[in-house]
Chains A and B, each alone.
Chain A
């Protein structure tokens, strides 16, 4: 089984979010970039398929050379090789096109991605890749097993979960549950040393045709100060929620 894992390069979850150039660009000043947390779950699942079922694991990112440390980290966690498509990601559609092209050229059976990236949260790329390749698609995946070409998967639904059967070739948008938080791996020194020697191939984009584009950013309106209510005066809280906030 040949697995392609999509790796998005995103601001660390604790980053302060600011915008520059008249609110048209994300301010990367002082921001640490990491592997998208959702992608880390599926990468860890891919490692399990590699160790238990002999799968090969390639990681891919669409981005500038600045994303290479993030790909090296994925290699240090255990991926066999990495591909960077040398293009600034513009929107979900253009990124999906590049990943679909990489997948086609490499003949992958299983494409794993986090269901969303923690920067744009669009949940677009995995489904678009599946539709472009004509692969089956499971989103919000919280568990999966592969036996030959047959796949059983569980996805999160509103208020519970749904069991699914499908077949390879397949794209999966995964989230916590596909592995648990405690299964995530921190690269060790040996992994980091080995990652330096693993291939990281840079390929040029095939097309940069995008369907949407970012015009500007906004921050949420600043919040007023919290209104504190005395613990002995629950009636006041109920009054505020009913008459002022009108939520009960």
Chain B
């Protein structure tokens, strides 16, 4: 018995979620009185995982897995779990994690809970808390099968240092035919993505037109943030669909979410509620977003945002 975690990486670098799942895996292993094993796919320099408690690191290197493939990755993780006698597998709930999770749970014959936000409240019975109702509630879910798969929500359990010395071993996985193949990837280079960002700067119809997004991008740039927008803005074609955050758009679970000229419709709030600190800038003091925000400025974005940019630049210059 052991706990296996999949440390997600992309282009040879660990995602932040890799450290979160290792931290979480360590906690679950402690509760179960066992150890945590991390599996990595096509990444060199895995020692960093020791800082968070990975006692064993299993590396898989395979040319057939250079591009993420849900079926291929699920199959490899299952093979490692079986070889290592693990019965709890922890993955993240990123786009790719949610893609491979259900395939893994059926292949591994395991009950699966995704978007889990906290350490198990009990391990016998095994109960985890997961997001439900588009961030308007949580569900405490019992996983009753012997094998279990847990998908950890981003920015929920956190990263906990727990330094150990890991043994590193490589694993030869057998790779079959996948049935789904990648032909091309279209991705902005060098831009912070909404899923990876610690700060998201988002703007709505209050900005009056796409020509006014310069200051949003500038603010995002100062903060190292990703840019996002409300649904009407993407429906109007002012910004690409990929920037739409909210219930039917991308979910946001960042440390800081800054909403400029967004009124805060219930569907928008459902998508961004999991963010820790919300700042709203809006001319209308009655905008519903003020009820959901931590900090607010009632004012004209065209006056407030440029000031905020210049003051933040000064602040960053002093604090770096």
Contacts and interface: CB of A to CB of B under 8 A. Distances in A.
Contact of A247 (B105, B130, B141, B199): B199
A162 B182 contact: yes
A160 B242 contact: yes
A131 B103 contact: yes
Contacts, number: 263
A212 B141 contact: yes
Q: B196, B256, B297: which has the most chain A beta carbons within 10 Å?
A: B297
A43 to B, nearest CB: 14
Interface string B30-65: 000000000000000000000000000000000000
B307 interface: yes
Nearest to A230: B297
Interface string A183-213: 0000000000000000000000000001111
A26 B138 CA distance: 11
A27 B302 CA distance: 43
B140 A218 contact: yes
A215 B127 contact: yes
Given A121-B134, A213-B141, A223 B292 contact: yes
B139 A217 contact: yes
Contacts of B194: 158-159
Nearest to B98: A123
A17 B141 CA distance: 18
Interface stretch (B19-27, B108-116, B161-169): B108-116
Contacts of A119: 132-133
Contacts of B291: 223, 226
B267 A247 contact: no
A65 interface: no
A177 interface: yes
A128 B94 contact: no
Interface string B116-153: 00000000000101111111111111111100000000
A159 B96 CA distance: 12
Contacts of A231: 297-300, 303-304
B277 A245 contact: yes
Contacts of A160: 185-188, 242
A212 B151 CA distance: 14
A228 B111 contact: no
B294 interface: yes
A212 B296 contact: no
B290 interface: yes
Contacts of A219: 136-138
A139 B70 contact: yes
B241 interface: yes
A166 B315 CA distance: 51
B92 to A, nearest CB: 11
Given A227-B295, A237-B279, A137 B103 contact: yes
Given A123-B102, A211-B111, A238-B312, A220 B182 contact: no
Given A37-B248, A93-B112, A217 B132 contact: yes
B134 A226 contact: no
A228 B298 CA distance: 8
B293 A226 contact: yes
A111 to B, nearest CB: 13
Contacts of A157: 95-96, 185, 187
B219 to A, nearest CB: 12
A240 B297 CA distance: 13
B294 A245 contact: yes
Nearest to B105: A128
A226 B115 contact: no
A211 B109 CA distance: 9
B285 to A, nearest CB: 8
Contact of B184 (A93, A162, A212, A229): A162
A216 to B, nearest CB: 5
Interface in B170-206: 179-188, 191, 193-196, 198-199
A157 to B, nearest CB: 6
A69 to B, nearest CB: 21
A212 B142 contact: yes
B24 to A, nearest CB: 18
B298 A226 contact: no
B297 A136 contact: no
B295 A240 contact: yes
A70 to B, nearest CB: 17
B128 to A, nearest CB: 9
A138 to B, nearest CB: 6
Given A226-B295, A231-B299, 7 more contacts: A162-B184, A210-B144, A211-B145, A214-B139, A217-B138, A226-B294, A228-B296
The 3 closest A-B pairs by CB, nearest first: A127-B102, A231-B299, A211-B111
22 contacts: A13-B270, A121-B115, A122-B130, A124-B112, A127-B101, A127-B103, A131-B107, A137-B71, A138-B180, A142-B241, A158-B94, A158-B95, A210-B144, A214-B142, A216-B140, A224-B294, A228-B297, A229-B296, A231-B297, A234-B304, A237-B279, A240-B295
